[in-house]
Amino acid sequence: MTIVRDRVATTLHALPGKRRINPILVVVVAGAIIVALTYTLPAFRTYQLATVGAYFCVTAGLTVLTGLNGQLSLGHGALMATGAYTLALWQNKFNMLIPGVIVAILVTTAVGAIIGLAAARLRGPYLAGLTLAVAVVVPSISSTFDGTFNSDQGLPVALNPPPESILVEQWQAWVCWIAALVTVLALAYLTRGRFGRDMRAVRDDETAAKLAGISVARTQVLAFVVSAACAGLGGALFAVLSQSVSPGAFPLTLSLFLLMAIVIGGLGRLVGALIGALLLVALPAIAQEIGQSAGSQRLEGNLALTFFGVVLVVVMIAAPGGLTSIRLRRTKTTRTRNELKQKGR
């Protein structure tokens, strides 16, 4: 049994290996670009860049869960809140950032494991319902246990300022993008290996996966846990970015936005997750500009949601596979054309 599976594995592995390049190379290049950007961009853009990095952690994890494993989560905003509040409570007590981020990831992973265990027993709309409930419950928890979480006002996050020579925004961008690139690297390797194949197999046909000796429940729980860890990291980064946490930062709409972003970007692809993260920062900003130029500040508060919806509809009509699929189709057609040419010879 195991021998058969290994053989299948090697043949499967050979296929994508040809057209994909080493993720380390991509990450190193991206890191260089980020460093260059932090030295050229004005402060507010650098802050937005940092926010993209923090979102990227979350969308990357979510796209693995939803795109590769087929589990729909509407509760990732709540997992981010878990990470953010953990970091805030840790920082206000100990003020040590790196252990704090690790603790935030661990706590969120634990919470993710609990939700994942329940989620593995549910399918489709029931799973969405469960995760939705998790997202909705955040403000209630923070106001019920207001002694710890301080209700709607939230908690401040104690942070040591970066060295004098570095701008705060620059430092924030570095912290966020180091975390994002490490996350993406880990996810890239994880999804290429056996775990990635297991996830896809479970997504495509649970019965077939079971027949092939894959533990469906274990794969689903693991996928949820991995994705929760990413969300926890993202949440912790948000706490660092805004130096405060409050339930208003993690509303239900955030969870919906996250899902919309990865669908627009292209499900199951890390590049799609990057596009999604960019959109999460860019679209509300654009909506605000429009609201301002239209002369009504009251529009700003409401326009972003509409804007996201319209973009989702347009992208789904024009490119059902998301923005990344647009280029993919073109490369496919050129490839088939080349193949035809070769055959013609």
* Binding residues vs another protein (CB under 8 A): 21, 26, 29-30, 33, 37, 40-45, 47, 49, 139-140, 143, 146, 150-154, 156, 161, 168-169, 242-244, 246-250, 271, 274-275, 278, 282, 297-298, 300-302, 324, 327-328, 331
Nearest to 265 by CA among 300, 305, 315, 215: 315
- CB closer to another protein, 3 vs 21: 21
- CB closer to another protein, 143 vs 215: 143
Termini Cα distance of the chain: 43
Smallest distance, Å, CB 151 to another protein? Answer: 4
Smallest distance, Å, CB 127 to another protein? Answer: 26
Spatial contact of 64 and 199, defined as CB atoms under 8 Å apart = yes
- CB closer to another protein, 9 vs 314: 314
Smallest distance, Å, CB 5 to another protein? Answer: 31
Side-chain-side CA neighbours of 130 within 13 Å: the count stands at: 17
- CB closer to another protein, 106 vs 244: 244
Smallest distance, Å, CB 79 to another protein? Answer: 16
Alpha-carbon span 285 to 307, nearest angstrom: 11
- CB closer to another protein, 154 vs 268: 154
Smallest distance, Å, CB 327 to another protein? Answer: 5
Smallest distance, Å, CB 81 to another protein? Answer: 11
- CB closer to another protein, 140 vs 215: 140
Smallest distance, Å, CB 297 to another protein? Answer: 5
- CB closer to another protein, 93 vs 327: 327
